[in-house]
Structure 1
Amino acid sequence: MKGLTVKQPWAWAIINGGKLIENRKQVWRYRGPLAIHAGRTWSDRGAASDLVHAAWGQHGPNGGVQAGLLQQHWFTQGSVIGVVDLVDCHVAHGCCAPWGESGEGRITHLVLENPRPVAPIPCSGALGLWTVPEYVMQRLSIAGVV
């Protein structure tokens, strides 16, 4: 299985908040189960996102928050937090609203389905797609998400 490291709070939004598009800059051939690793880096842009705020208000453990008040310590970092199915990857062309971005340069959309949260599994992430370590695979199997 492959893994993808995503900055928080975007990773939370993928697994818990209905974010089924991940914006990247390369096209990947891989399709199948994808472990979502919550990276150790925080995204201020994600924390300020109206979409993340709306998702947090509906699904977050602390309920709604006012703009700018998402707290980094509310989010797991440095762990696999769930699995999704990567079903498509295409160059952005004004599609996949509201989570899909378009703009300057080459942006691609990873189309995700079937998010399955798990209790956090600490591990190191990496840039791009990476192979999930065996001990993480065992825990995901025990959790019944792969």
Structure 2
Amino acid sequence: MKENQEQIKVLAIKQPWASLIADGFKTLEVRSRNTNIRGPIAIYASRTKPKNSELEHYFTFMSGMLKPIPPLQQGQIIATAELVDSYPVGSSEAFRILAHNHHNPLSYYQDGLHFWELENVQKVEPVEFKFKGSIVWSKIDKSLLKVV
């Protein structure tokens, strides 16, 4: 890689949550821990197979949008976003109240969860990506991402 190429962090997110972020419906990513990372990130739709209950939840929500439901991409970077904040969920009541921002089933709540707040989401032309790095984060050359 050339020195002048800028890298961007890549966050692995399981489907259908990655698509809900890319489509602008999900602005809070639910995680088990805090992060100090801020700034631009790429959203990678991981290859991890979604549970049937997660797919049902997604299709129920999307069918209410009254437009065609796109196929769920996996193993690709599908969007960019700004990671602007991370904070504790705090309570099951807060989780319930903010459900329209995170779209996770209420049964997902457990003590110790954090919201990672995302803004300025932009879809990109899907980029096949072999995830390298920790389970959550990797990096990619920013010039490979083309906003659609």
Which TM class, normalised by the smaller chain length? Answer: 0.7 to 0.9
Asked if structure 1 preserves the Cα contact closer than 8 Å seen for 2:125 and 2:147, the reply is: no
Q: Could you list the runs of 5+ residues in structure 2 that have no partner in the other structure?
A: 1-7
Give the alignment partner of residue 55 of structure 2, picking from 37, 47, 67. 47
Deviation at 1:128, TM superposition (A): 1.9
- Greater shift, 29-38 or 41-50, is seen at 41-50
Matches within 5 A, 1:115-126: 115-125=121-131, 126=134
Give the alignment partner of residue 34 of structure 1, picking from 18, 29, 41. 41
Residues of 2 paired with 1:122 and 1:57: CA distance? 30
1:20 aligns with 2:17: no
* Other-structure match for 2:120: 114
Which TM-score applies when normalising by structure 2? 0.74
Write out the 4+ residue segments of structure 1 that deviate beyond 4 Å after TM superposition: none
Asked if structure 2 preserves the Cα contact closer than 8 Å seen for 1:16 and 1:59, the reply is: no
* Other-structure match for 1:97: 98
- Quick one: which amino acid aligns to residue 86 of structure 1? L
Map Cα deviations across residues 6-39 of structure 1 (whole Å, 9 max, x no partner).
1111110011141111101111111111100001
* 3-state SS of 1:58 partner: coil
* 3-state SS of 1:36 partner: strand
- Quick one: which amino acid aligns to residue 77 of structure 1? Q
Q: Could you list the runs of 5+ residues in structure 1 that have no partner in the other structure?
A: 64-73
- Greater shift, 91-100 or 37-46, is seen at 91-100
Matches within 5 A, 1:52-63: 53-55=60-62, 57-58=64-65, 61-62=68-69
CA 1:8 to 1:59, structure 2 compared with 1: closer, same or farther past 3 Å? farther
Deviation at 1:55, TM superposition (A): 3.6
CA 1:15 to 1:114, structure 2 compared with 1: closer, same or farther past 3 Å? same
* Other-structure match for 2:3: none
Root-mean-square deviation (CA, aligned residues, Å) is: 2.5
Percent identity over the alignment? 27
